Amino acid sequence: MERPFPANIEAEKGVLGSIIIDPDVLMAVSEVMRAEDFYRDVHRTIYEAILDLYQHRQPADYITLCDLLERRQKLEEIGGAAYITSLMNYVPTSGNGLWYAQIVERTATQRRLIKAGGELVTLAYEEEDVPEALEKAEKLIFEITQRHSTSRTGDAHVRDVLRSYMEKLDARSDQRGTLTGVPTGLTDLDSLTGGLQRSDLIVLAARPGVGKSSLALSVAYNAALTYQQRVGIFSLEMSKEQLVQRLVAIDSRVNLQMLKMGWIEDDEWERLINSVGKLSDSDIWIDDTPGISMPLLRSKARRWVADNEIDLLIVDYLQLAKSGEGKRQETREQEVSSISQSLKGLARELDIPVLALAQLSRAVEGRQTKVPQLSDLRESGAIENDADIVLFIYRDDLYNPESERVNMADIIIAKHRNGPLGTVVVKVEPRLTYFSDFHFVSTLERGGEANDERTDF
């Protein structure tokens, strides 16, 4: 015998009766459930009419509701005015309307799970690409989870958005100067961006050896260790051990090359042990799956957010990922475009900033001026289009042997969808592969001799 779908008709009647008795109940109810959560079609029709009345600033009482349903030729379909009366008589008070709504939403979620279960069975039988099937399966469950665990999102009237915006603006005013996004730890960069903002795709691009990974890891270190942010890193180029070794060098300030060679001085061991303890207590997650596909990356990122509530996602680097769409005729440009769009979608879906590293084309090397341009983004113009912020790294000392700007780098904000463009000067510490705030120090203050080491990454 086939089991009936979960439903609570009494709760459906209760929530509608509560709203008709007291239209103000709708405000709380609409944050919990939607019209499609009703099991009975007639209840869905009535609720949609109530919402329409509310949108037109009309009270959803017995008279206005019956009038609207009659004009739409729906009144007899739902059982006539007598059924509206029966809903009002069904509940003695409107005080429990919100509780009824929560029951309706819960049973609707159960029905969605049952439907998803059927789709998963079909998917398992028919989908030949197992990774693709797993991605679709996880997306089905994730959508149900997000819908159940959060307030109503998606469509919203501008007045509701403005109300929320003004509340946030008021809070910012009370904390003037406080960053609204994830801090990078680079003061001048944070001043221009306000930190890395939620739902933004930030592309950090440079030629090989200039320091993309080092700058990204510097941001990860600063965010996690200084500002107690949770950071997830997808490292497609370096192993977990290599990243951890760099983090240890940054925190302990022990020369990275010496760490690689195992040449540790006695006085450095204590610093190393302290750094290992600090880093162990930090909230940094690392995945070093080489050539990871976007379906798998998205799946792991969702799990990081669900399980660990990460605040920042870093992908190093974009062109090493695979789209995972299985299109045999897909060109490399189309694949990179797909990856870029997927990362932007992920940033919005998870509502966290995604810092994606990208390789610049060789066109930079062929020009007289080596300063990167947006047109240098390799293999796809979609990267520029999808990104909310595009950052370039330029180091004059790597191109000009006579440069006086030794171990200094320009971080160029070449695109900023919601803010100013500009260039930030930072200090490069090659021995630690670390980028930090630049503060001018004279040759005399350095001890009389400039450090002219020109080290790339």
C-alpha to C-alpha distance for 270 and 28, rounded to whole angstroms: 57
- Count of domains observed in the chain: 2
If asked whether residues 127 and 196 sit together in one domain, one would say no
* Residue at which a domain ends, from 109, 127, 149: 149
* pTM summary value: 0.63
Question: Are 142 and 198 in a shared domain?
Answer: no
| Residue 378, domain member (yes or no) | yes
Task: Transcribe 272-335 into DSSP letters.
Answer: HHHHHHHHHHS-EEEE--TT-BHHHHHHHHHHHHHHH--SEEEEE-GGGSB-----TT--HHHH
Structure-block tokens of residue 266: 């006695």
Distance CA 42, CA 396 (A): 70
Residue 443 lies in a domain: no
Q: Residue 450 domain-assigned? A: no
Q: Can you list the alpha helix ranges (DSSP code H) found in 3-129?
A: 9-21, 25-29, 41-55, 62-71, 80-90, 97-126
**CATH for 53:** 1.10.860.10
221 with 309, same domain?
yes
- Cα(327)–Cα(118) distance, rounded to whole angstroms? 27
Last residue of a domain, one of 149, 165, 196: 149
**Whole-angstrom distance, CA of residue 294 vs CA of residue 405:** 39
141 plus 198 within the same structural domain: no
* Domain around 75: 9-149
Statement to judge: residues 57 and 203 lie in one domain: no
CA proximity to 347, closest of 322, 312, 374: 312
- pLDDT tens string, the chain, 457 residues long: the values are 577 888 999 999 999 999 999 888 888 888 788 888 999 999 999 999 998 888 788 888 899 999 999 999 999 999 999 999 999 999 888 888 889 998 999 999 889 888 888 888 887 887 666 767 777 777 777 777 666 654 444 556 677 767 776 776 676 566 555 778 899 999 899 999 999 999 999 999 988 888 899 999 999 999 999 999 999 999 998 888 888 889 888 888 888 888 888 888 888 888 888 888 888 888 999 998 888 888 778 878 888 988 888 999 999 888 888 876 555 546 777 888 888 888 998 899 889 999 999 888 877 777 778 888 888 886 666 888 889 999 999 988 888 888 888 888 899 999 999 889 999 999 988 888 889 898 644 333 333 333 444 444 5
Tokens of 438: 């630049």
CATH number of the CATH domain containing 367: 3.40.50.300
Is residue 245 located within the same domain as residue 376?
Answer: yes
Distances (CA, A) of 437 to 315, 326, 408, 455: 23, 44, 10, 18
